[in-house]
Structure 1
Amino acid sequence: MGSLVTEKVSTTILVVAPENVSFNLTEPHGNGTDDSGPSPVALHVGAIVMLLALLWGVFANTLTAVVILTQRDLKNITNIFIVSLCINDIINLSINNLLVLVSYFMMSWSMGEAVCEMVMHFTVLLMGSSLWHTGLISIHRLIVVIFNNFYKTISKKAYMLFVLITARVVPMLFLITPHLGEMSEYQPKLLRCLAHKDHGLYTMLVSVVLMMLPSLILIVCYVAIFVKVHQSSSHFRATRKREWLRREIQITKMFGMVFLLIILGYLPYGVVRFIDRKLEFSADFYVVITVLYAVANSCNPIIYGVMDRKIRRACFAALGLEQRCMKDEKKMKPSESVRSNGEAEPTTEAVPLNGSPAGRPSPQKTSV
């Protein structure tokens, strides 16, 4: 009688299990084989690190965006671009990173296939938006530093709207597909959804349009900027324009660091997935590079604070720590303590990068 009951239970399990095999058989085995999921230790440690990064990222990005939007002297084109990047990071952390974090704590994916595919598409959209932001901002830096006379003739508001809209519209074009909602396959080893092998063209276009193209634009613009600066005359360096140039190059470096941080977050995972198409690498290794991506998503505010004195001061002041900030700045070299990275509209961007008499401003007080 006992064997008969056991046989019936076994038959029931065999019948029911295939219906949910993609999402129920995701418990980590921890046996170290290629077919196993991540170990409990890797998932728990990864989840804790991701939680800390998420809390910091949401707090710091929100603080940065709020102080820029609420303080008149911080409202300029450069800082509006920073706010846009902050919003991108907040959405990414609050949706993608949070759902992956929950799956790591639970050691399985229990939110269904639709949500799993949604996370995949949101990752593509937000990654593409961040990279197109930095690519278009590099064009902005090129125009400001090298073609300043042209920059003074264009509508700043229209130009800003063009950058903010284009940086989001281009990635959203990848949602225009008849296969939307059926493009992913769940991988228990990774506890996440990946683009299905049948959509290789989609994956290739994502790599080319959303990663390679904006990266190429940024590299070309930055090389042109630094070559032009290196070739600028000694007369230019000896005049008051030197301070303007140093500010603009500092801003350019700041966005360059943001770009590098984005790449450091996405590139390792992309390279590993390209090499390991059959998912033969350790599942714990995939946890490590996923956590690296999550941490990188949270670090942009650190760059803004370190490289922009005005933003740093405003953030400390909002937290009631302005005196602490002032003490830290006094420890810097005198030249660093008075340097401002803000884009003061007309005193920083009105100085052309050339030595022509017509382009030289009259001696007047410069906003620092």
Structure 2
Amino acid sequence: MANLFNFTDENNLNPSVEPGVEPSELSKFSPGLLTFAAVVTGFIMVIGLFGNLLTVVALLKCPKVRNVAAAFIISLCIADFLFCAMVLPFAISGFWTRTWSHGGALCQLVPFLRYGNVGVSLLSIALITLNRYIMIAHHSWYGRVYRKHIIALMIVFSWLFSYGMQLPTLIGVWGKFDYDPELGTCSILPDANGRSSKTALFVIAFIVPAMLIFICYARIFWVVHSSEQRMREHQRSQHTSPGTLNNSTDKRSTVKDNRETKARRNEWRITKMVLAIFLSFLVCYLPITIAKVADSHVHYPVFHIAGYLLLYASACVNPIIYVIMNAQYRAAYAAALCCPLARLSGLTSGAYPSSPACQPVRKTERTSALASYVRP
């Protein structure tokens, strides 16, 4: 571990690299390309800090979007905000200087935070997906599973597990966090016994949650498709049975159908939004994850840099998805931006009457949303 603090040789382009070790592949890129990467990363950092903070404020402020899924989305936003605040500045420095110049302690802490936030993000997405699955496929369990203390335990578990499984690497007994002379940044390297946790982390923190999300969505699509078929058959049976309902009953049935259809569509929009978040996560994280495992000796450095830029972009893409895919989130953002700063101290209180997304949710609306997926 002592070599972590050996960053003082001014004659070496990469001060942490021991004599006889080749300069990092990062140093072989043109200054213009690395400057471009630093600028793009800085832009991502600013957008991510603002977007994730705004999302947290909007979800806390507006009761209509403050549901169970929002609790996990807030956890996801906090992880992305910390990633932007505590990891990306060092990434910008690395692209700008082509080496690591922040000392050995931070060389261990920064990758620990980076991998930890990746784990929290994916587990948060998995928990949101599981929430959607239980809401749609097993709504009778919903009230028993999603109580306040259980939701809190789920969120705490996602953070403790994501960081806890890295503790052996942090203390150097299963790989180690150290300067990677081939890439010119700090990452997971083999320990003194030649062991590394990269592959295991890839399986535990990426493959397993991704498979859980895939299975949940496959089941969600099947249940929704079956429900739509039953709905159409039910409507056809009503239309082909004249004289069984009077006009007033027929009108009440039509109003109820319209209300439940609207609630069902809203829940389905949220489900599709979570799917888009997961797909964006795959697009952003899979390249660098594959590069770390399949090209551990950095034979293709361009692939690594492109992967890092995609990884950094994941920290700011989720608020963009919320804005594009959900009208209630757009209204919540508008309410959060328009409210006076003096009101921000009471974010959990009432919201502006002019913002539909910030109106309290009536109990009948919540019941209708749950029941819409289990109609005969």
Q: 1:216 maps to what in 2?
A: 211
Which of 87, 90, 93 aligns to 2:78? It is 87
Q: CA deviation at 1:164?
A: 1.1
How do 1:1-368 residues align onto structure 2 when only pairs under 5 Å count? 21-22=15-16, 36-177=27-168, 180=171, 183-198=176-191, 200=195, 202-236=197-231, 238=235, 239-240=257-258, 241-282=260-301, 284-320=302-338, 346-351=366-371, 353-356=373-376
Is 43-52 or 103-112 further displaced after alignment? 103-112
Cα distance change, pair 23–141 in 1 and its aligned pair in 2 (3 A):
same
How many residue pairs get aligned? The number is: 318
Q: Secondary structure at the match of 2:117?
A: helix
Q: Secondary structure at the match of 1:278?
A: coil
Q: CA deviation at 1:251?
A: 1.0
Q: CA deviation at 1:190?
A: 2.5
Is 164-173 or 84-93 further displaced after alignment? 164-173
Inter-partner Cα distance in structure 2 for 1:176 and 1:220: 30
Cα distance change, pair 21–70 in 1 and its aligned pair in 2 (3 A):
same
Q: 1:5 maps to what in 2?
A: none
Inter-partner Cα distance in structure 2 for 1:266 and 1:174: 19
Q: CA deviation at 1:227?
A: 0.8
Q: CA deviation at 1:319?
A: 3.1
Assess if the C-alpha contact under 8 Å between 2:170 and 2:177 holds in 1.
no
Q: Secondary structure at the match of 1:184?
A: strand
Is 253-262 or 148-157 further displaced after alignment? 148-157
Inter-partner Cα distance in structure 1 for 2:34 and 2:264: 47
Report percent identity of matched pairs.
25
Inter-partner Cα distance in structure 1 for 2:176 and 2:306: 26
Inter-partner Cα distance in structure 1 for 2:133 and 2:304: 38
Cα distance change, pair 16–244 in 1 and its aligned pair in 2 (3 A):
closer
- Deviation by residue 1:34-88 (Cα, 9 ceiling, x = unmatched): 6853321111000111111110110111111112112333322122222111111
Aligned amino acid, residue 183 of structure 2: L
Assess if the C-alpha contact under 8 Å between 2:284 and 2:310 holds in 1.
yes
Q: CA deviation at 1:290?
A: 1.4
Task: Name the TM-score, length of structure 1 as normaliser.
Answer: 0.77
Q: CA deviation at 1:232?
A: 1.9
Aligned amino acid, residue 257 of structure 1: A
Cα distance change, pair 293–63 in 1 and its aligned pair in 2 (3 A):
same
Is 50-59 or 96-105 further displaced after alignment? 96-105
Q: Secondary structure at the match of 1:193?
A: strand
Inter-partner Cα distance in structure 1 for 2:26 and 2:37: 20
Inter-partner Cα distance in structure 2 for 1:35 and 1:139: 40
Inter-partner Cα distance in structure 1 for 2:69 and 2:170: 38
Inter-partner Cα distance in structure 2 for 1:38 and 1:142: 46
Identify unmatched segments of 5+ residues in structure 2.
1-8, 236-256, 340-355
Identify unmatched segments of 5+ residues in structure 1.
1-14, 322-337, 357-368
- Deviation by residue 1:166-220 (Cα, 9 ceiling, x = unmatched): 2112112213327626713322442312211346452222111111111111100
Cα distance change, pair 69–17 in 1 and its aligned pair in 2 (3 A):
same
Assess if the C-alpha contact under 8 Å between 1:148 and 1:352 holds in 2.
no
